[in-house]
Amino acid sequence: MRFLPRAALASLFDALRASGRRVVGPTRRDHAIVHDELESAEDLPIGWTDEQAPGRYRLRRRDDERAFGFVVGPHSWKRELFPPREPLYHATRRPDGKVGFSPIIPEPAPSALLGVRACDLAATQVQGRTFESAEFVEPRYAARRAASLVVAVNCTEPGALCFCASTGTGPRVGAGADLVLTERDDGFLVEAGSDEGAAILDALPTAPASDADVTWVDEAMAAATSAMGRQLDVEGLPGLLFGNLDHPRWAEVAARCLACGNCTNVCPTCFCSTTETPSDLDGQDATQVRLWDSCFTVEHGAMHGASVRPTTRDRYRQWLTHKLGAWVPQFGVSGCVGCGRCVAWCPVGIDLTEEVAAIREGAAAPVALPEPASRQPGVPDDLTPRVARVVDVVRETSDVVTLRLRLDGRVAHRPGQFHQLALPAIGEAPISVSGRADGRDLDDHLDHHFVDHTIRAVGGVTRALCALSPGDELGLRGPYGRPWPLDALRGRPVVVIAGGIGLAPLRETLRELLASPADYPDVRLFYGARTPDDALYLDELRAGTRPGFTLRVTVDHAPPTWRGEIGVVTRLLRGDAVPEGAACLMCGPEVMMRFSIEALRAAGIPDERIWITMERHMKCAAGFCGRCQYGPYFVCKDGPVFRLDEVALLFGRDGF
């Protein structure tokens, strides 16, 4: 520890600039303390502090000249590392149907982030687990973090809304800072946390700190810990929240909540995003752009034509259960760092510490959240599609087509996984693979292969995909996701239940089941469609009949010429239709799956032998946008195929 006199603060700026870094730190603007590029120490909010209360933030003059004598303002450091608006890739689409995609990866100038509080430093590490430590690494975020040097500040004066001591993220700066300052009236006590920080410290006109200085810092941190304006009881919080999803407090807070998204905008760890694809007037050149979004918006929960979280109650519950609950099994830490911003900047002053305390009162028993499946170490994914070519289009029904795509180079996938399909100036959509063109393992010597995607035209992107012709090109990412568990089915009777286009994600699996009668001697497909004309792949399935394969089809409505069954698919599950010891794979509308699950349970099939796919919950495919967050899971990384007991807590529940 070294001592830097207050009069020598400018030397810190000089040293940081001498290392080739721009300095970003707190400054006073628009009646708030915000982050911006700083030219000198005079740009700091010297002599200013903030007063905070629920729904209230004000600046006032201090009685001294402290440079960091405030708590936190509306800006967090995620603005530097995860910008509110960022281009992802350029895309082109020519009149002849040819497309091209090129990633936009920044080369950020080296930066020094000055004045980072302990809670905000913890927040960068929490958010880093989202973008760098899961199955995929987002290279734009990683590049900015790598280019940033952190000059942190111990917090000696917590505010009225601070509770970082409860979350274990402050007030003392933890690991991850290159330099740590502790401010007092006569100057700064400075510690180095890295070799680069030590090099900066060596360039400053400092003197050795005394034992009394070290003791003063320890005592200041202890005093700050006991002076927190709020407390949050985090004991057993994930299980408490998910064990009380029907608590009346959710409706009570929703009656006050404006669903404005202020809390998520100021939160230093929230990462939800959406995309837009602005283009030139003729649509030939476009840019895929990522923007901050909020789980409080109806659009964020809108997938495949409907919102899974239509009410404010649903959206507030989603935010709080994810922030304080699901984040723990997903990332190993809470998503809340105790900064209090969400309380200060809520227009109606909703205080999450009060909400948690209210839910604890008269709470039902907590539940144990399942741990997500282990993921592979992070690999780069720049979210840029590769080019695929349409070689055939099969019109399956009036609104469903199967695109056969040629991919140059081998991209192995497994049944149940999905690709992200993209069209410049239009957008992207996750679509399950409905089969390889030849239905066999690929020759290692092939330099290209073919995959099928069966698509229903329900929105702008899927309608455009269904309008493609042979020779047209499109973008493709993946494969992504967890596949169907073929190994777990071996030797058992296999029941496959599908509704409508839900047969598409099961098609390739059915092919493998039918091709291996020794491993899967008893396969039964129960399939429901709206009308006979809406049924998929019937000719193929009937042609693939073999001993041990049962095919039963029902429709909701049919002409007099239909000789098959009429009614919902669960009618097919009566009697001895489901054999003892069977395992089940299922895909279709959620209401169909709910009633089918009831029938399977009645037939003695445990949840551990039922697999479903939650593909309708997916959006970006790599777990970066937050749309597919589902309890302790990200559907695109931990699914889309789930064993029912993994998701039974939420499956079929309104608002999830």
pLDDT in tens, 123-158: 999 999 999 876 788 999 999 999 999 999 999 999
For 42-51, 388-397, 443-452, 540-549, which range has the lowest pLDDT when averaged over its residues? 443-452
Q: What is the pLDDT of residue 440?
A: 46
Token duo for residue 229:
């304006």
pLDDT tens-digit map of 222-239: 999 999 999 999 999 999
- The three state secondary structure string of 165-181 is HHHCCCCCCCCCCCEEE
Q: What is the pLDDT of residue 296?
A: 96
Question: CA angle 418-422-424, nearest 5°?
Answer: 175
Correct CATH for 385-417+428-479 of 2.60.120, 2.40.30, 1.20.120, 3.40.50: 2.40.30
Average pLDDT, the chain: 93
Arithmetic mean of pLDDT, 241-263 = 96
Residue 96 has pLDDT above 50, yes or no: yes
Q: What is the pLDDT of residue 445?
A: 47
The model's confidence at residue 439, banded by pLDDT at 50, 70 and 90, is: very low
d(CA 262, CA 451): 43
d(CA 349, CA 92): 46
Q: 3-class DSSP state for residue 516? A: coil
Residue 122 has pLDDT above 50, yes or no: yes
For the four alpha carbons of 378, 379, 381 and 387, in that order, the dihedral sign comes to: negative
Residue 438 has pLDDT above 70, yes or no: no
pLDDT tens-digit map of 78-94: 999 999 999 999 999 99
For 204-218, 268-282, 321-335, 428-442, which range has the lowest pLDDT when averaged over its residues? 428-442
If one compares 362 and 351, the residue with the highest pLDDT of the two is 351
pLDDT tens-digit map of 302-354: 876 678 899 999 999 999 999 999 999 988 899 999 999 999 999 999 999 99
Q: What is the pLDDT of residue 442?
A: 44
d(CA 465, CA 191): 57
Answer whether 460's CB lies under 8 Å from 427's CB. Answer: yes
Arithmetic mean of pLDDT, 268-285 = 93
Q: What is the pLDDT of residue 282?
A: 87
Residue 206 has pLDDT above 80, yes or no: yes
C-alpha distances out from residue 234 to 164, 237, 263, 273, Å: 11, 5, 20, 27
Arithmetic mean of pLDDT, 540-563 = 92
E strands, 409-472, in order: 418-423, 427-432, 435-436, 448-456
Residue-range domain boundaries for the chain: 2-83+104-226, 385-417+428-479, 486-613
The model's confidence at residue 397, banded by pLDDT at 50, 70 and 90, is: very high
For 59-63, 123-127, 273-277, 299-303, which range has the lowest pLDDT when averaged over its residues? 299-303
Q: What is the pLDDT of residue 377?
A: 64
Instruction: For the chain, give the percent of residues with pLDDT over 70.
Output: 96
Q: 3-class DSSP state for residue 249? A: helix
Arithmetic mean of pLDDT, 102-107 = 95
In CATH, 486-613 is 3.40.50.850: no
Token duo for residue 323:
């922030």
Residue 639 has pLDDT above 70, yes or no: yes
Residue 443 has pLDDT above 60, yes or no: no
d(CA 394, CA 403): 7
Answer whether 578's CB lies under 8 Å from 600's CB. Answer: yes
The model's confidence at residue 648, banded by pLDDT at 50, 70 and 90, is: very high
The H or E element containing residue 166 is: helix 164-167
Q: What is the pLDDT of residue 617?
A: 75
pLDDT tens-digit map of 285-305: 999 999 999 999 998 888 766
Arithmetic mean of pLDDT, 43-49 = 98
How, if at all, do strands 549-555 and 565-566 pair?
A: parallel
